[in-house]
Amino acid sequence: MSGTLRRTIAGAPSLEKLCPGLSPGSSGGGGGFPTVRPRRLRQSPAMRRLVSEVRLHPADLVLPLFVKEGLHEARPIRSLPGVFQHSRDSLRKAAADAVQAGIGGIMLFGVPTERDHCGTTDAVLNDAIADVIAEVGNDTVVMSDLCLDEFTDHGHCGILAADGSVDNDATLLRYAEMAVGQADAGAHVLGLSGMMDGQVGVVRAALDAAGHTDTVLLAYAAKYASGFYGPFRDAVESQLQGDRKTYQQDPANAAEALREVALDVAEGADIIMVKPALPYLDVLRQVADAVDVPVAAYQVSGEYAMVEAAAANGWINREQVMLETLIGARRAGADFVLTYWATEAAALIS
């Protein structure tokens, strides 16, 4: 190797001493090296921060919260460490804490004490919406889940026909009723998570007819029939019989998600969601590239629980992986992420 190249590569004269048998001539070559050195932009925290392509902000995060009818204090959810079924009082405190942390919003789920075939026991959710609005007002975005699975005695997201299948069109009528009730209670955003055909258009029409033209619709347009929902079903005490593969999407399909998204946007969806996040980052990217409305991702209960379990066993760095998964969703195209870590992550990144 020439003396000029030796002088160009800092420290090269000592390479033989540091690594006996390794010739300095074995490094370098094409690709612009030694002139081009990508490591220059990684050499300090300040430099890495300056050139970061994606930045997490508390406002990018939405916290799911569960309220259980009849509780007098918060109750831990065994399969979701650090997450609780809330009483009405503890829900208000959790909402206030979320506002203090600066997160972008809250998504509310109701857990009733009684269920029926048509999911009519949803008053617990409307009460929770009103409680949170009374506590935080417009200081954060209050969202509510619009689905029947928490309230039906069979655990499906719709009304069952005589043959046991989910009756799509009958379900839409219930969704319309629920939507007006949630908007009356003060919800800013309704999360349509049932994956019924035509749900966005029917709910939009019902809201507009009731005078709720400003209520935002967040459509779970690409919601997959995933194995990652298990802990959530514990949280809402789901009574699910069978599975949801006839209305939630096949994990093998991406093009189908784009079709669902296009239909929901055409029906009036203001925001689109991909759920779960981690196994579907490719879909998230495609959806973000395809639409001109905001895109959300839901980091679901199973994603959260597997990180918590691995961290509890000392196998991973919990906080590092927490933030890495959130950055991954944002990098793939999510404008905001629903995550059970929202309040904690906000404190870490503030």
Q: Given a cut of 90, is residue 25 above it in pLDDT?
A: no
Which amino acid is present at 101?
A
* pLDDT tens string 96-152: 999 999 999 999 999 999 888 888 898 999 999 999 999 999 999 999 999 998 888
Q: Which residues are catalytic?
A: 223, 275
What pLDDT digit, counting tens, does each position of 65-103 carry?
A: 999 999 999 999 999 999 999 999 999 999 999 999 999
Taking 80 as the threshold, does the pLDDT of residue 278 lie above it? Answer: yes
What pLDDT shows up at residue 197?
Answer: 92
Distance CA 62, CA 208 (A): 26
**pLDDT greater than 70 at residue 7:** no
pLDDT at 288 over 80: yes
The count of structural domains within the chain is: 1
Which residues are known binding-site members for 5-aminolevulinate?
Answer: 233, 244, 301, 340
pLDDT at 14: 61
pLDDT band at 19 (very low <50, low <70, confident <90, very high): low
Higher pLDDT, 12 or 274: 274
Q: How large is the average pLDDT for residues 162-186?
A: 95
pLDDT beyond 70 at 43: yes
Does a structural domain hold residue 10? no
Look at residue 4 and tell me if it is in a domain: no
Q: Is 24 inside any structural domain? A: no
pLDDT at residue 234, as a whole number: 82
pLDDT of residue 209: 98
Structure token pair of residue 223: 């919601």
Is the CB of residue 128 less than 8 Å from the CB of residue 88?
yes
- Is residue 120 situated within a structural domain? yes
Q: Assign residue 341 the CATH number of its domain.
A: 3.20.20.70
pLDDT of 8 over the 70 cut: no
pTM of the entire predicted model:
0.89
Domain, as residue range, for 206: 58-349
Q: Where are the beta strands (DSSP E) in 27-126?
A: 61-68, 75-76, 84-86, 105-111
Q: Does 21 score more than 90 pLDDT?
A: no
State pLDDT tens for residues 195-249: 899 999 999 999 999 999 999 999 999 999 999 888 877 887 777 767 777 888 9
Percent of the chain with pLDDT over 90: 75
Which stretches of the chain are assigned E, i.e. beta strand? 61-68, 75-76, 84-86, 105-111, 141-146, 189-192, 216-223, 271-275, 295-298, 336-338
Cα–Cα dist 39/17, whole Å = 24
Average pLDDT, the chain: 91
Residue 38: closest CA among 51, 55, 26, 27: 51
Q: Please check whether residue 156 lies inside any domain of the structure.
A: yes
Please measure the distance between the N-terminal and C-terminal CA atoms of the chain and give it in whole angstroms: 50
Give the model's confidence band at 22: pLDDT under 50 very low, under 70 low, under 90 confident, else very high. low
| Tokens 């005589």 -> residue | 162
Residue whose tokens read 């857990």: 111
- On the question of pLDDT at 177 being above 70, the answer is yes
Chain segment 150-159, per-residue pLDDT in tens: 888 888 888 8
Greater confidence (2 vs 86) lies with 86
Output the CA torsion 147→152→154→158 (10° steps). Answer: -40
| Among 72, 111, 106, residue whose Cα is nearest residue 239 | 111
Q: pLDDT value at position 237? A: 78
Asked whether 297 and 277 are in contact (CB, 8 A), the reply is yes
Q: Where is the binding site for Mg(2+), in residues? A: 260
Which residue positions form the known binding site? 233, 244, 260, 301, 340
Dihedral-angle region of residue 159 (phi above 0 means left; psi in -120 to 50 means alpha; beta otherwise) = beta
The 3-state DSSP class for residue 3 equals helix
Does the pLDDT at position 321 exceed 80? yes
268-293 burial, b if ≥16 CB within 10 A, otherwise e?
A: ebbbbbbbbbbebbebbbbbbeebee
SS3 101: helix
- pLDDT the model gives residue 211: 98
* 95 falls within a domain: yes
Q: What is the mean pLDDT of residues 302-319?
A: 97
The verdict on residue 35 lying in a domain is no
Give a yes or no: residue 34 inside a domain.
no
